[in-house]
Amino acid sequence: MEYYKFPLKIGLLLQDGSKSLPKCSEKESIDQHLELLFTTCPGEHRYDPRFGCRIWDMDFEKVASQKSWQDHFTTCLTESITTYEPRLSEVEVQVTVSDITYTDDVTDTTTIKKKADVLIKAVLNSTHENCRFRFRLFLGPLSSE
């Protein structure tokens, strides 16, 4: 099966002689889809309002317990993956959270963000191969690296 590489460059289809878009492997496609899933707020996708990840609800949440916050964050990611990425099974999500300080020299402001290093271990259903995906997410406001 062939998969298209993100971002889609529709302009290539309109150029003379070009009849296809850049392709990628199944693992790359899953990686791209997971990033899209994590950075989409439920309600943003017109055709499936549940598509996305509930970590957006946690973006500016006051943290009473780091452990419970991290567990909830992990649960949100796991639920999104198992619901919207059928090419994976036996999904295990590990999250390491830390605070980072960012200083903007132009505005002379300092902000603190939560950094979530995410490791996803799963089985690729098409080949039964073990695979891993890594993401680094920053919250307050949510962004990815």
CA dist., res. 36 & res. 15, Å (int) = 27
What's the confidence (pLDDT) of residue 59?
Answer: 66
Per-residue pLDDT of 1-35, as tens digits, reads 888 888 887 777 777 666 778 889 999 999 999 99
Structure tokens at 101: 């300080």
pTM for this entry: 0.83
Tell me the C-alpha to C-alpha distance, in Å, between residue 18 and each of 83, 124, 141.
Answer: 35, 32, 39
With tokens 């878009």, the residue in question is 21
Total Cβ atoms within 10 A of residue 76:
20
CATH of domain 21-144: 3.10.450.40
Three-class SS of residue 93?
strand
Q: Say how far apart CA 127 and CA 32 lie, in whole Å.
A: 19
Portion of the chain with pLDDT greater than 70, in percent: 89
Which residues contact residue 73 at a Cβ distance below 8 angstroms, ignoring those fewer than 6 apart? 55, 58, 95, 97, 116
* Residues 79, 68 contacting (CB under 8 angstroms): no
- Centroid of chain to Cα 51: 12
pLDDT value for 18: 64
Domain boundaries defined on the chain: 21-144
Please check whether residue 137 is in contact with residue 55, taking contact to mean a CB–CB distance below 8 angstroms. yes
Residue 24: CB partners within 8 Å, gap ≥ 6?
Answer: 3, 4, 5, 32
Classify burial at 122, counting beta carbons within 10 Å of its beta carbon; exposed 0-12, middle 13-18, buried 19 or more: buried
Q: What is the mean pLDDT of each successive set of 10 residues along the chain, which is 145 residues long?
A: 82 70 92 95 91 82 78 94 98 93 81 89 97 91 58
